[in-house]
Structure 1
């Protein structure tokens, strides 16, 4: 659905769907996916900017639909001034430490898990600043604007990041136990940007923190499986390219062997990512994928047209991650779409390239 150009069609489709309640037992995975997508496309402009960007990027990578480009572009350009400010102060240690404390203190602390993560960030000096800079430089690079206006200082940022001792943070067992998905992301950002290759050391450290044993419900299991799925998803460039199962056999074997317990003991965000990992490996006929689809059918709320959360209910912002994963599962393409390369985007070329001539 092209909500940018045909919003009224989205509203009409949503009304037609809403007027025809369907028992969950008779829903097909395709109809669940269509209904969730119709709901989110209809309300996408009302989501927070970061949720809009997350949704639009994932939908672009499974559809290649240019209608999602305005959201992705505006979100990246909208952060350009903040990134430029940080890049301009890389020489200033006091600034870096101040920004690190600011970033760490702003980290959410509404649960015990997040309070612990926040304390770990506060204990690591410049790491919150470096971590934040790494995230944005990776995003600029993935969208094809590294070294291009308004991101002409990206090489300076990379030079600074090469001097940061990320291994001290990423390979710390306590940090791995508390922060495994985000660490997996960082590992692949560092590798993709040519800064440092910590992929193998991280996987070895991860397997020491989370040994291969039968699943037991609780926060440790969620951290373990989330970390596993993020290793694979990060290796794919966040759904930009397929991966090979043999490169991550220890993860796939664990997920496959225990998938029924993992579905029972974890939440939809986690086990839907588990299914997407098998799709990234070209195993759409895996029993893991079928079991996850069945579990989502049981969780699906046909009135809200989404997968609700036990904690947050049908809040659209809180549910965006969970539901965009479900959309991807039900709309998985034959070919993924890398990027987008915003250097080719007409609005970018008009504002930044044409002005140079």
Structure 2
């Protein structure tokens, strides 16, 4: 039932995009509506996102909405019946423009990390290495002290999401050597990360090591201890930075904490090809991918 609900949400989003948001003017209209949500918020992250993305409004459609839904369908061994149309939309835009732009990275580091790996997964543009190079130039390590709390968090988030995206979100183990600079940085700076970062980021750092099979690395125990210390024994969960226990806003943080403290290993998502019984009924708009 969970798979079907997830597929239905993906199908509904892609159906709308393939039918109503195809022409460049439709994309600008759709994206401009999305952009106003950031304009209304006062916090540093939203302001950064609004300021830079108003110059690339189509990014909200392409990167944040379309690519994620297409990659999700692909992970299930499915695609949209108008896959050709959707891929033509992606090809109209050079994703390097977003993925290597310093201000875009400062606003969207974790999202860009996901998106460049999704593009690679879909066999479209491969800008993973260009993004990583631009990311490292945006956040040189000797500049850490000058970063605001928000920007320091954005840097660490970007790094953990490079690992998460490479693992296809906990589906396959990553190779430490492929991301040596990240693991070296985390080991060298773990004490600063524990002091400066929020709990969800700390948990992601620990999970990054688990994804590489580094269960016994001292960093893992340090992050686990920090997360254990943050859990309220009364509520049985980690509050927000404001001390709030609303699960609606804290779910992400607490799911990461559970994953870190009770790691079950990587887990392949079910696919239409390998688990046909789970896909007896496919929501309208999605079809099986043809075997390669």
TM-score, normalization: structure 1? 0.73
Q: Cα 1:350–1:226, aligned 2, differ >3 Å: closer, same or farther?
A: closer
Residues matched between the structures, number: 280
- The answer for the alignment partner of 1:31 in structure 2 is none
Structure-2 residue corresponding to 1:310? 241
**Larger deviation: 108-117 or 297-306?**
108-117
Cα separation, 2, equivalents of 1:197 and 1:188: 8
Mapping for residues 155-234 of structure 1, pairs under 5 Å: 155-213=84-142, 215-216=144-145, 218-234=149-165
Cα displacement (A) at 1:187: 0.9
Contact kept in structure 1, 2:240 and 2:250, CA below 8 Å: yes
Deviates more, 1:137-146 or 1:246-255: 137-146
- The residue number in structure 2 matching 1:126 is 58
Q: Which runs of 5+ in 1 are unaligned?
A: 1-69
How far does residue 256 in structure 1 lie from its aligned partner after superposition? 0.5
**Aligned residues: CA RMSD:** 2.2
Displacement of 1:280 in angstroms is 0.7
In the alignment, does 2:260 pair up with 1:329?
Answer: yes
Q: In 2, are the aligned partners of 1:90 and 1:160 still within 8 Å (CA)?
A: no
Cα distance change, pair 298–312 in 1 and its aligned pair in 2 (3 A): closer
What does 1:232-271 correspond to in 2, within 5 Å?
232-271=163-202
Identify the match of residue 136 of structure 1 among 56, 69, 87: 69
- Do the aligned partners of 1:109 and 1:118 also contact (CA within 8 Å) in 2? no
Are the equivalent residues in 2 in contact too, given 1:312–1:318 (CA < 8 A)?
no
Q: Distance in 2 between matches of 1:137 and 1:350?
A: 19
* Structure 2 Cα separation of the partners of residues 345 and 138 of structure 1: 19
How far residue 239 of structure 1 moved from its aligned partner, in angstroms, is 0.6
1:348 and 1:280 map into 2 onto residues whose CA distance is 28
Q: Does 2:78 align with 1:145? A: yes
The CA deviation at 1:214 is 7.2
Q: Is the 8 A contact 1:90 1:157 kept in 2?
A: no
The corresponding residue for 1:105 is 36
Higher relative contact order (CA 8 A, sep 6+): 1
Match in the other structure for 1:52: none
Partners of 1:126 and 1:194 in 2: how far apart? 21
Task: Within 5 Å, give how 1:19-30 maps onto structure 2.
Answer: none
- Asked which structure has the greater CA Rg, the reply is 1
1:214/1:258 contact within 8 Å kept: no
Task: Give SS of 1:207's match.
Answer: helix
Equivalences for residues 46-57 of structure 1 within 5 A: none
TM-score (norm 2): 0.89
Q: Does structure 1 retain, via aligned residues, the 8 Å contact 2:200–2:252? A: yes
- Give the whole-Å Cα distance in 1 for the aligned partners of 2:131 and 2:208: 19
Distance 2:12 2:175 in 1: 38
Please report how far the alpha carbon of residue 163 of structure 1 lies from its aligned counterpart in structure 2 after TM superposition: 2.2
Structure 2 residue runs of 5 or longer lacking an equivalent are: 288-292
SS at match of 1:106: helix
SS of 2:78's equivalent? coil
**1:20 aligned partner:** none
> Which residue of 257, 267, 280 maps to 1:349?
280
How far apart are the structure 2 equivalents of 1:308 and 1:101?
Answer: 34
Q: Is residue 75 of structure 1 aligned with residue 6 of structure 2?
A: yes
